[in-house]
Amino acid sequence: MKSKFYDKLATIYFYLVAVLIVLFLVALIGYILYQGRSELNLHFILTPPKFMEKGGGIAPQIFNSLLLLVITLIISVPIGIGAGLYMAEYARPGKITELIRLSTETLSSLPSIVVGLFGLLIFVNMLHWGYSLISGALALTVLNLPVMARVSEDSIRSVSASLKEASFALGSTKWQTIVRVLIPSALPGLITGIILTSGRIFGEAAALLYTAGMSTPPLNFNVLNPANPASPFYPFRAAETLAVYIWKVNSEGLAPDARQIADGSAAVLLIIVLLFNILARWLGNTLYKKMTGGK
């Protein structure tokens, strides 16, 4: 039977594609880790880079990436959840709702270089904040907000309606229901979403080239007051991230061991992003089990 033969053939083809994609990913990750293996040590992670000299590390870049991530999350999570809440709970069909939805979709498909340019225009130039932590964090916020709003809306919508009705039946106001019932029940989805977007923020470079800048002043951890310009937490200092550093080393690396630095940085960045991914999966599952009491 001809059609049975074709059916078999198609099945083999689909398996082939699937296996190839998975193998390709394994090869990709293997290659990155293998290339970076000589730099995967504490010295590389804990020392600052050297200029025109061998043996520099990536400590300030890792610190900057983490700091920018934290600032971005502090700004974008409350706003994103608020927006998601509005879309899930308050929005009525109409022009404004439609406009919010269109804006969210537009923002989330915006090329990140355009977001970077917008940041350059507003935060760096118009507000005179220069290449700085705060400019970078706000550019990342613009990138992250639509994603966060989407994730929040989806997780809040997925809470079962009977829980909500039960809360209303007990005489709660809408806000009480949201704070005491909806958000706690939506928590597994929210947390998974936040961690997944964290991975994306951590690896972002295009939006940061012209906002957080491509340099870092020497970081002095004896000064912790963020109002002091010498402090690593001073919001108006330039902050080159790990992803930006990889780009810079590859396009204009001056150190003689630029290739090794790039290899090592790529491996470190990949490991951190993978950790975010694994953490999101694990935490999502664990929280889900805990909340639902199921197996």
Q: Which two tokens stand for residue 275?
A: 């950790």
Q: Which two tokens stand for residue 281?
A: 């999966």
What is the footprint of other proteins within residues 36-55 (CB under 8 A)?
Answer: none
Decide whether 206 or 212 has the Cβ nearer to other proteins.
Answer: 206
Calpha distance 122→143 (Å, rounded): 15
CA angle (149 as vertex; 144, 151 as ends), nearest 5: 95
Overall size of the chain counted in residues: 295
Residue 277 in contact with other proteins, rule: CB under 8 A? yes
Calpha distance 98→284 (Å, rounded): 31
User: Quick one: which of 109, 160, 222, 225 contacts other proteins (CB under 8 A)?
Assistant: 109
Q: Which two tokens stand for residue 203?
A: 């690896």
Q: Where are the alpha helices (DSSP H) in the chain?
A: 2-36, 42-46, 59-85, 95-108, 112-119, 133-157, 161-169, 174-177, 183-203, 242-252, 258-292
| Beta carbon of residue 156, minimum distance to other proteins (angstroms, whole number) | 11
Residue 179 in contact with other proteins, rule: CB under 8 A? yes
User: Quick one: which of 270, 279, 283, 287 contacts other proteins (CB under 8 A)?
Assistant: 270
Residue 202 in contact with other proteins, rule: CB under 8 A? yes
Q: Which two tokens stand for residue 204?
A: 């972002």
End-to-end CA distance of the chain: 46
Residue 18 in contact with other proteins, rule: CB under 8 A? yes
Residue 6 in contact with other proteins, rule: CB under 8 A? yes
Calpha distance 76→149 (Å, rounded): 9
Residue 182 in contact with other proteins, rule: CB under 8 A? no
| Beta carbon of residue 223, minimum distance to other proteins (angstroms, whole number) | 30
Decide whether 169 or 227 has the Cβ nearer to other proteins.
Answer: 169
| Beta carbon of residue 146, minimum distance to other proteins (angstroms, whole number) | 7
User: Quick one: which of 62, 67, 149, 159 contacts other proteins (CB under 8 A)?
Assistant: 149
| Beta carbon of residue 233, minimum distance to other proteins (angstroms, whole number) | 25
User: Quick one: which of 107, 187, 258, 287 contacts other proteins (CB under 8 A)?
Assistant: 107
Decide whether 234 or 240 has the Cβ nearer to other proteins.
Answer: 240
Residue 239 in contact with other proteins, rule: CB under 8 A? no
What is the footprint of other proteins within residues 114-143 (CB under 8 A)?
Answer: 114-115, 117-118, 120-122, 125, 142
Largest CA distance in the chain: 80
